[in-house]
Structure 1
Amino acid sequence: MLSRLSRPQAVAVCALPVVALLATAVFAPLPFSVAQPGMTANVLGKNQGTEVITVSGAPTRNTSGQLRMTTIVATGPDARVSLRDVIGNWFRTDRAVMPRDAVYPSGDTVKEIEKHNQEQMRQSQDAATQAALKYLDLSADKVRVQLKLADVGGPSAGLLFTLGIIDKLNGDGSGGDLTGGRTIAGTGTIDAAGKVGAVGGVALKTQAARRDGATVFLVPKAECSDAKAELPKGLRLVPVTTLKGAVNSLVALEKGKDSVPSC
C-alpha cells in the first residue's frame, strides 16, 4: 500500500519538473547574438602594418588627425546564447542583445556569411572610390585607389573610406585637413552617387570611437536617436545624409563655424 505524501513532500515532488524546465530554459540556446564595441581603424594611416588607402596617378597630401571607421563584435552565427547570457547582458550599456537574423543572414553557414561580408566590403570600397573621385571630378581611368582593411567585413565603413580618399587627395579644398587635426570617427554606407545609408549598432560604435580618442562622430541622420541612447561624454554627434553634407560639416567644424548640424 502506498503511503500518503505530506504537503511539503508533495510540493517538493511537483516542483521538480518545474525546476528542470527552468534549468533547461536557462541553458538552452536562443536565436540571439550579443554584440559589443569592436575595433576602430584610422583610414588615413596603417592597419596591421599596411596603408589603408593607397592612391596612384595623382599627388597625395600628408594628413594630420584621424578618420576612424568603427565596428562592433558579435557572437558568431553558430555560438550558443542562452537565456542566462541574454539576461546577463540585457542591462549592460556596453552590450546589445539582438535577434541573430538581424546580425547574420538566416540559414547561411559561417563560411557563407564570411563570404557575404567580404563581398559587401568589396562593393563598399568600390562605391567609396567612385563617390570620392566623382566628388573631386577626377577620372577613374587616371587615378587608381586601393583600399585594404584586414579582418573587417560589411559595408558600414563606406563613408569613412570616401572621406579618407578625399582628405588624401584634396583635404578641405583650401590647403587644410578635413579633420582639422582632430580624431573623427563615424559609420555609414555610401553609394556611388554619395548617398549615406544607415547601418547598425551605432550606440556601440560611439563607445568604440570615444574609447579610441574620437571627439566627433559622423552618424547617418536616420540613426541619431540610436546614437544618442548611450552617447559617451565628450563625443559630438554630426548627422549626415550625403557625402557633400559630410564634407561641408567637417570643413565648418574645422573653421569653427556655427553651421555644423547636430542630432
Structure 2
Amino acid sequence: MPRRTATMLASTLALIGLLCAGLLLPVPYAEMSPGPTVNTLGEARGEPVLQVSGHKTYPTTGHLNMTTVRVTGADYKMNVVEAVYGWLAHDNVVVPHDTLYPDGKTEEQSTQENAEEFSQSQESAKVAALEELHIPVTSRIIVSSVVKDSPAEGTLHAGDVIKAVDGSPVKAPTDVAKLVTKHRPGQKVVFTVVPAKDAEAAEKTGKEPSASKDVTLTTKKADDGDRAIVGIQAGTDHTFPFTVDIKLADVGGPSAGLMFALGIVDKLTPGSLTGGKFVAGTGTIDDQGTVGPIGGIEMKLVGARNAGAQYFLTPAENCAAAASDIPDGLTLIKVKTIADAKASLDKIRSGDTAGLPSCSAS
C-alpha cells in the first residue's frame, strides 16, 4: 500500500475513532434552550390562563407573554460532540451540570422544587397585582412546614397562624427566625398561635381568627451551626376578596411572576395595558411588587422574539446579560417593580416609546 494512502487511511480511522469516542464519552454539562412562551391574557390547552370570579373583568388585547427555558434532564448524559455543538449554536447555552442540578439533586427533586416555586410565584403575583390596584389583601404569617423529629413536631402544625414569638408580634416570616435565634439552644421559646383548623373556619366566614393559645417549645442546636431552632418553616398565607386562578400546566419556577401580575392587572382594569402590542417578559415578583432576576435570560429573549414579541420586560439585574446579545427587532425595557412595568406599558400604549427605560451591556 502506498505510504500516502496508508497515511490517509490511518488519519481517517483516527478521526472515526475520535468521533466515536466523542459520542460515547459523557461530559458533566447540561443544555439550556428557548422554551415555549404563553400569553397570560390568552388560553393554554383550551382554557383561559387567568380566571377571575367574584369581581368585574374587562376585555384585553395584545400579548403579555411569560417565557420559559428548556433544560436537559438531571439524568441526561451529554457527550463531547453534543457539548461542542451546543457551545457553537447561537440559540443554545451549555452550562456545568451542577448549575442546574446542584448537590446531586435528582430530576424529581428539581421538579418538585420548581413546582413549589411556581405555586408561590402565583400567590405573590396575585398579591402584587391587587396591591397595585389598591384592592386590600389580608395576610397572615403561618407555619408553612414542620421538620420531622424537631421540637415543633406534634405541637405546631402546618397552617397554624403565628401571632407572636415571646410576646413580640410577627409581621413577616423572617421575624420568626430572628426571634427564635435570640435564644441559645436548650432554652424555651413561646409561640402565640391560632390553630390551623380555627384559622380555616374563620376564613370561611370572612373574619380574622381571634382565638389564640401559647405554645412553649425547647429550642435545639441547628445541624449546620450553633444557632437555636425549633424546626419549622414560616410562610405567608393570604385571603383574597375574590378568586383569581392561574391555569398553566407543565411550567415550573418563579420567573413568570411579573407577567402573571400584569395579566391580572389588565383583566381587572378597563382598557388594554399593551394597546394591542406584543409584549413579553420575565421576572420574579414578591408581595410588594418588587421584580427579581431570573436564569436563562438569553434563551427567553430568543423564545420571545421567535414568537413575535416587540418588547421585552427585563429585570434590572438581568439587563447587562440581556443587552449583550439582543435579537433583532426586540426592544428591552428595564423594570424594577410592577409599577415600573405599568408605566412602561403606558408609554407603549400611547406610542411614546422614546422614553422607555432601556438595558445596557455595561
TM-score higher than 0.5:
yes
**Shift in Å at residue 28 of structure 1?**
2.2
- Which of 185, 201, 204 pairs up with 2:296? 201
- Larger radius of gyration between Structure 1 and Structure 2: 2
Cα distance in 2 for partners of 1:229, 1:102 equals 21
| Counterpart among 129, 142, 145 of residue 244 in structure 2 | 145
Aligned twin of 1:166: 265
1:224 and 2:312 are equivalent in the alignment: no
Distance 1:204 1:103 in 2: 15
Contact 2:290 2:337 in 1 (8 A): yes
Name 2:194's counterpart in structure 1: none
Q: Distance in 1 between matches of 2:341 and 2:312?
A: 11
Measure the CA separation in 1 of the matches of 2:338 and 2:305: 23
Cα deviation, residue 20, structure 1: 7.6
1:89 to 2:184 alignment: no
Secondary structure at the residue paired with 1:34? strand
CA distance in 2, matches of 1:22, 1:234: 39
Partner of 1:33, secondary structure, is: strand
Counterpart AA for 1:106: D
Structure 1 or 2: larger strand share? 2
1:55 aligns with 2:151: no
In the TM superposition, what whole-angstrom CA distance separates every residue of 1:143-192 from its partner, at most 9, and x where no partner exists? 2211111111111100000000001001xxxx431111011101111011
Residues 220-249 of structure 1: per-residue CA shift (max 9 Å, x gap)? 112122212332111110011111111111
Tell me if structure 2 keeps the 8 A contact 1:61–1:169. Answer: yes
**Contact 1:190–1:197 (Cα < 8 Å) also in 2:** yes
The answer to whether the 8 A contact 2:284-2:292 is kept is yes
Q: How high is the TM-score relative to the length of structure 2? A: 0.64
In the alignment, the residues of structure 1 paired with residue 292 and residue 252 of structure 2 have an alpha-carbon distance, to the nearest angstrom, of: 16
Instruction: Output the amino acid matched with 1:77.
Output: A
For 1:128, the equivalent position in structure 2 comes to 125
1:233-252 matches, within 5 Å, as 233-252=328-347
Equivalent residue in structure 1 for 2:41, among 5, 19, 44: 44
The structural deviation recorded for 1:106 is 2.9
Moved more, 225-234 or 175-184: 225-234
1:84 aligns to what SS in structure 2?
helix
Identify the residue that residue 356 of structure 2 maps to in structure 1: 260
What is the Cα deviation at residue 105 of structure 1?
Answer: 3.9
Q: Which amino acid aligns with 2:308?
A: G
Alignment map for 1:94-133 (pairs within 5 Å): 94-133=91-130
Which secondary structure does the structure 1 equivalent of 2:104 belong to? coil
Whole-angstrom distance in 2 between the partners of 1:23 and 1:41: 40
Mapped pair 1:183 → 2:278: yes
- Report the more deviating stretch, 219-228 or 193-202: 219-228
1:37 maps to amino acid? P
Q: Which runs of 5+ in 1 are unaligned?
A: 1-15
CA distance in 1 between counterparts of 2:317 and 2:55 reads 35
Contact 1:93 1:230 in 2 (8 A): no
CA contact (8 A) 1:203 1:228 kept: no
- Higher alpha-carbon deviation: 132-141 or 84-93: 132-141
Code of the aligned partner of 1:213: G
Q: Distance in 2 between matches of 1:262 and 1:46?
A: 30
CA distance in 1, matches of 2:304, 2:262: 17
Give the count of matched residue pairs: 247
Deviations 1:101-137, CA, capped at 9 Å, x for gaps: 2223432222221111110100000010111111111
- Structure 1 length normalisation: TM-score? 0.87
**Does the aligned pair in 2 maintain the 1:70–1:186 contact within 8 Å?**
yes
Counterpart secondary structure, 1:38:
strand
For residues 244 and 100 of structure 1, the distance between their equivalents in structure 2, rounded to whole angstroms, comes to 37
**RMSD across aligned C-alpha pairs, in angstroms?**
2.3
Unaligned runs of 5+ in 2: 1-12, 138-239
CA contact (8 A) 1:198 1:223 kept: yes
Amino acid of the structure 1 residue aligned with 2:356: V
